Amino acid sequence: MHLPADFIQKMNTLLQEEADRFFATYHEEKVSGLRINPLKISRDEFLRICPWNVEAVPFCETGFYYENDVQPGKHPYHAAGLYYIQEPSAMFVAEVLKPSPGEKVLDLCAAPGGKSTQLAAMMNNTGFLLANEIHPKRVKALSENIERLGITNTVVTNETPEKLATRFAGYFDKILVDAPCSGEGMFRKDEEAIQFWSCDHVKKCAEKQRYILEHAYEMLKEGGILVYSTCTFSPEENEQTIESFLKHHPDMELLPIEKTDGIQNGVVEWTQEGLKEIVYTARLWPHHLKGEGHFVAKMKKHGPTSPWNGKIAKSNVSRQMLRDYEQFAKTTLKTSINRTIYAFQHHLFALPEDCPSFDGLKVIRAGLHLGELKKNRFEPNHALAMALTIDDVQHYLPLSNEEAMKYMKGETWHTGQDRGWLLVTIEDYPLGWGKETKGIVKNFYPKGLRIV
């Protein structure tokens, strides 16, 4: 691995006698992790069915290390949303924000969704999570991950922080800014981050982070909590970004983060003006724990903030649309969806609780995508399958691991029965829909997700 000379010099100056231990980690193997999805599976159940050797991540209750020679991302359990592949240090960030069920939460820089999926699970799919991503390509991956993990309390948008701030001033209980950064902490995993790195890039990232934080501040309610994180080592993007933000916002208080298992304090000497409380922030270093580099700061807003004065979204579904959906629900489901139902053209969505109106925003996913009305027939969406359990449906088709791989390739099934919509499952966890007519199950696994 060829590290930039300026980076080596900078880290030597910052770390001094620790530098050798730090650089030695670049000769070690990367660590790989997955985080189970408690919306679908418990820790004990996962350990019962898990086909690989795994070891608990000490600073995240739902996190596990796995060995580098296995590929959990290719197993049907991944397609069933039982876990999310995530770099272990990154798992600590959502643990610091720790939203509760029923809260209003914003993940401002959310793609591909590692932290959003963790936050939604902590909220137990209740309340309202806005997962936003500015990049139009990256937002698709975010939306797919929200779907795969069976998340129903989340609206995914593709907006700038500025535009969101005009709509959500004073709205959120909790906000995460997992900022775009120079990615120094990911050099072991991501060669591209090395190619991109320069002292100038670090400076530009720091400017961008300040702009994003300003808008996050506007959207936080009085008493609200803001967590800022990066996956870089540079003080300009970490201690100094936070020091400068706090200087401009004296009503924001830096809160101590509890540190265990090798997590270190932020460094006062790396600030510009010697802010003592910066030790409350957390640094995750690859030479102190099993994970890559991360920085996390937690802050509380004390200043008076005008309460949000926007509108709540109302159902716009016609009687006919509702009748068509109910016809499907009566024959296929054993559960009812007790949320506001909203139509975008022919598509129906079940909105999160007390969902604000999002007219005029670029919405990629509005809560749970129920399905589409096609010539007075309702066709369920893959997202609905992913949010159900076998107890929620009239009929399901249990598959073995080998059969599940065939399903994910798009194969049809001969069953000899005629039961209509079936939830296709592995180990009782949904993989998608099949429609059984005259003995044959047509495959509704989305074409874009199929394996070749």
Ligand X SMILES: C[S@@+](CC[C@H](N)C(=O)[O-])C[C@H]1O[C@@H](n2cnc3c(N)ncnc32)[C@H](O)[C@@H]1O
Residues noted as catalytic: 231
With CB under 6 A as the contact rule, which of the stretches 132-140, 287-295, 322-330, 426-434 interacts with ligand X? 132-140
Binds ligand X by CB under 6 A, chosen from 115, 148, 167, 259: 115
Does the annotation list 109 as a binding residue? yes
Q: Does 50 bind ligand X (CB under 6 A)?
A: no
Print burial letters for 136-170: b (CB count within 10 Å at least 16), e (below 16).
eebbbebbbbbbbbbbbbbbbbbbebebbbebbbb
Query: Which CB atom, from 165 or from 386, has the smaller least distance to ligand X?
Result: 165
Does the annotation list 18 as a binding residue? no
Does the annotation list 205 as a binding residue? no
The sheet carrying 440-443 orders its strands as 396-399, 420-426, 429-437, 440-443, 413-414
The two three-digit tokens of residue 296, written as one number: 């996390």
Q: Does 103 bind ligand X (CB under 6 A)?
A: no
With CB under 6 A as the contact rule, which of the stretches 108-116, 150-158, 196-204, 338-346 interacts with ligand X? 108-116
Residue 161 near residue 210 (C-beta atoms within 8 A): no
- Phi-psi category of residue 113: left, alpha or beta, with phi > 0 → left and psi -120 to 50 → alpha: left
Query: Which CB atom, from 107 or from 173, has the smaller least distance to ligand X?
Result: 107
Q: Does 149 bind ligand X (CB under 6 A)?
A: no
How far apart are alpha carbons 246 and 50 in whole angstroms? 45
Give me the residue label for tokens 């806005």.
130
Residue 88 near residue 65 (C-beta atoms within 8 A): yes
Does the annotation list 293 as a binding residue? no
Q: Does 135 bind ligand X (CB under 6 A)?
A: yes
Report phi then psi at 174, rounded to 5: -140, 140
Q: Are strands 128-132 and 63-66 parallel, antiparallel or unpaired?
A: unpaired
Query: Which CB atom, from 14 or from 85, has the smaller least distance to ligand X?
Result: 85
Q: Does 337 bind ligand X (CB under 6 A)?
A: no
**Smallest separation, CB 337 to ligand X (Å):** 28
Query: Which CB atom, from 135 or from 311, has the smaller least distance to ligand X?
Result: 135
Binds ligand X by CB under 6 A, chosen from 81, 88, 99, 114: 114
Residues paired with 132 in a beta bridge: 157
Query: Which CB atom, from 183 or from 434, has the smaller least distance to ligand X?
Result: 183
The letter for the amino acid at 39 is: L
- Nearest alpha-carbon partner for 251 in 273, 218, 275, 282: 218
Query: x-or-dash pattern for ligand X, window 70-99, by CB under 6 A?
Result: --------------------x---------
**Smallest separation, CB 362 to ligand X (Å):** 13
Q: Does 140 bind ligand X (CB under 6 A)?
A: no
With CB under 6 A as the contact rule, which of the stretches 133-141, 378-386, 422-430, 431-439 interacts with ligand X? 133-141
Contacts of 2 (CB under 8 A, 6+ apart): 194
Q: Does 208 bind ligand X (CB under 6 A)?
A: yes
Query: Which CB atom, from 114 or from 434, has the smaller least distance to ligand X?
Result: 114
Q: Any alpha helices (H) in 249-400, and if so which ranges? A: 319-332, 382-387
Residue 268 near residue 235 (C-beta atoms within 8 A): no
Number of residues near ligand X (by CB under 6 A): 17
With CB under 6 A as the contact rule, which of the stretches 60-68, 72-80, 129-137, 238-246 interacts with ligand X? 129-137
DSSP state of 24: H
Q: Which residues in this chain contact ligand X in the complex, by CB under 6 A?
A: 90, 109-115, 133-135, 138, 161, 178, 180, 208, 212
